[in-house]
Structure 1
Amino acid sequence: MRRATHLLAVTLLAASPAVAGAALIQVPGEVGTIQAAIDGASDGDVIQIAPGTYATSLVLRGGVTLVGGGPRPEDTVLSGSYMHPLIKLEGDSRPARVENLTLRDGFGYKGAGMELQGAVLDVYRVRFVSNAAALEGGAIYATSSLLTLRECLFYANYAQGGEGGSIYIQGDDQTGRAHVVENCTWAGNAGCCGGISLVISDCRVEVTNSILEEVTCLAGGDGYFACNNGTFCGTDGGGNFFADPRYCGFENADCRLEPESPCLPENNPDCGLIGAFGGCGLTATAETSFSALKSLY
């Protein structure tokens, strides 16, 4: 396999422990498919996916970074066409990373966007849109894993037959470390049985500076919440509140914030930015309210 170096690879790898011989693999180009790139990658390699929409279902492996090649997550889309889940990562304790992508229209039994079992995954600037699980975890189902989410959007995901309209986390990677959620936004997700944003079971999750819908703590579930907008369970670290986030255009999945939003840092200086997005700079023409969120279903 021909390997190339690129400034993006250097930038991404600088955020992780150095791996000798790590390289950038471009798809399409050097490799025909994303799965072929994953199968041929070595620890520390970065797989850069060119902008476009890809109908795919991937088995990821530890030690690899999967990144969208456009300037925005919306530029590179993995689509399940409501026929299959999008990313699985199982039985691999080497840290993997997924960045700058949109995962949409996945369908699966558990975790239509991502299903993790015995894995360690860092997810950064990923948009989970309209994924549907038959049971639990419309967007993500994670068991015996370690999950980190930063600057992610969960929009219109659904769990039909169980809890966790967006995310269901059960257990950890047996190191005692907490799952981490920072500056994420949940909007318009749904489920039959509670925990629309997040279900925490037999593990600890630290959630900060995020816009939440509903969080449920099950047996052994412990949450620490600070500077969030929305309902939660577990320890109150301060700075939490419940108010209309005032999205610029919820109906179009535009979850940037109107100038009057209580989630903007200028309106909440003690916490800084809450959620994945800053302001849109213009007042949205459509009314955005909690009732508007529910009208999606």
Structure 2
Amino acid sequence: MGYRAFIFTAALAACAHAAIIRVPGDQPTIQAGLDSASEGDTVLVASGTYTGAGNRNLDFRGRDLVLESEAGAEATVIDCERAGRGLSFHSGETAASVVNGFTIAAGMAREGGGVACLSSNPTFTDCTITNNSAESGGGVACHSSNPTLTDCTITNNSAESGGGVACLSSNPTLITCRIAANTVEMGGGGMGCIFSSPALTGCTITGNTTTYSHGGAIALFESLPRLTNCTINGNSATNGSGGSLWIFDSNPSLTNCILWGNEPDEISGAHHYPGDPRIRYCDVEGGWDDVGNINVDPLFVSIPGFSNLLRPGSPCIDAGDPSISDGVGDWHPRWPDWYPNGARSDMGAYGGPGNARWLP
């Protein structure tokens, strides 16, 4: 048997032995489903709101499992009832530990009110993490972890620091995620980072607030974040500075991003340790001196389900890094066929060519 044939046969055998455990059909609670699963199994959860012991503080116990809902996040809720967090990953879980299609709500913990990752790298897709609270990381807390979140919404969480996401010595990846309406007291309404290098692509960070400190959207302490095609809008540092970014000895890299309408200013840093931001091909209110940047109203338009779209005629269209072509997925509205939009990348989270989904 050739090498490729052997690998294919092994993969088929692995799939054949993977089981599906249904909740509540086979097991009464989500944790019971996880505990009965073996490596590679899927725990499939029926629609409903899950409360009580066995449906919070969920633990994969270091195994590569898939926890998936049958009907998606809107129909499948893990309600922690302020008695713990939704999920805890602390046993070296890998990217093959997957959570797909849940709302994780009403969690409360010291770190990570909704989800906590400690020395683990789980994967989250199509999840909503909302109305959770913690001292650090109201929605998600990452400590020495590199989780991946795709198409997730992190909203209406609260904390002392890192309202939506808190990162300590971590490098999470967020792809087409929405971080909105989170609040903190001390810093990083949307995200707070210490010694971390998160990567955000196609994300919107909007309406987050810090009440007594800096970084309405993002607060950075000795960190190296990378943001590409992100929109940062409507965030506020009520009694501080850096509505979009507050920087302490950090070197963030931003490409094709929009920083507009944040209060009291867009970017601010510690007086003696401002860091060295690399911000290029971005629309920054008030201006930022670097390659390809503009300081012009992006002309946002909203429709039900989507905000911060680029109106036809927006100066952010075809104004991104010319070495990057428009990349458009099926997850967001696209440009109508009749509207001229070139192959050059746009600024913000919603650029790109396509169909007439959101314009008459």
**Does the pair score TM above 0.5?**
yes
Could you list the runs of 5+ residues in structure 2 that have no partner in the other structure? 1-10, 207-216, 233-243, 262-299, 315-331, 336-340, 351-355
Whether the 8 Å CA contact 2:123–2:149 is kept in 1: the answer is yes
Q: Which SS does the other structure have where 2:121 is aligned?
A: strand
Distance, in Å, in 1 between the alignment partners of 2:79 and 2:231 is 30
Whether the 8 Å CA contact 1:264–1:274 is kept in 2: the answer is no
Is 1:196 the equivalent of 2:189?
yes
Match of residue 224 from structure 2: 222
Distance, in Å, in 1 between the alignment partners of 2:65 and 2:105 is 21
Matches within 5 A, 1:70-149: 70=71, 72-95=72-95, 96-133=97-134, 135-149=135-149
Matches within 5 A, 1:6-85: 21-55=17-51, 56-61=55-60, 62-70=63-71, 72-85=72-85
Matches within 5 A, 1:153-164: 153-159=153-159, 162-164=160-162
Q: 1:26 to 1:117 in 2, by over 3 A?
A: same
Match of residue 290 from structure 1: none
Distance, in Å, in 2 between the alignment partners of 1:281 and 1:81 is 38
Amino acid at match of 2:124: V
Counting matched residue pairs gives 251
Deviation at residue 141 of structure 1 after TM alignment: 0.8
Q: Which SS does the other structure have where 1:59 is aligned?
A: coil
Q: Which SS does the other structure have where 2:204 is aligned?
A: coil
Q: Which SS does the other structure have where 1:91 is aligned?
A: coil
Match of residue 202 from structure 2: 209
Is 1:242 the equivalent of 2:262?
no
Q: 1:20 to 1:198 in 2, by over 3 A?
A: farther
Taking only aligned residues, the RMSD between alpha carbons, in angstroms, comes to 3.0
Distance, in Å, in 2 between the alignment partners of 1:274 and 1:195 is 20
Distance, in Å, in 1 between the alignment partners of 2:16 and 2:92 is 20
Q: Which SS does the other structure have where 1:119 is aligned?
A: coil
Could you list the runs of 5+ residues in structure 1 that have no partner in the other structure? 1-13, 173-177, 284-297
Deviation at residue 268 of structure 1 after TM alignment: 9.8
Q: 1:282 to 1:48 in 2, by over 3 A?
A: farther
Whether the 8 Å CA contact 1:189–1:196 is kept in 2: the answer is yes
Q: What's the TM-score once normalised by structure 1's chain length?
A: 0.75
Whether the 8 Å CA contact 1:209–1:227 is kept in 2: the answer is yes
Match of residue 5 from structure 1: none
Q: 1:81 to 1:247 in 2, by over 3 A?
A: farther
Deviation at residue 145 of structure 1 after TM alignment: 1.4
Distance, in Å, in 2 between the alignment partners of 1:258 and 1:241 is 11
Distance, in Å, in 2 between the alignment partners of 1:247 and 1:109 is 36
Larger radius of gyration: 2
Q: Which SS does the other structure have where 1:103 is aligned?
A: strand
Q: 1:217 to 1:268 in 2, by over 3 A?
A: farther
Whether the 8 Å CA contact 1:209–1:271 is kept in 2: the answer is no
After superposition, give the CA deviation of every residue in 1:7-37 in whole Å (9 maximum; x if it has no partner): xxxxxxx9xxx56621211101011111111
Q: Which SS does the other structure have where 2:98 is aligned?
A: strand
Distance, in Å, in 2 between the alignment partners of 1:156 and 1:247 is 20
Deviation at residue 243 of structure 1 after TM alignment: 4.1
Q: What's the TM-score once normalised by structure 2's chain length?
A: 0.63
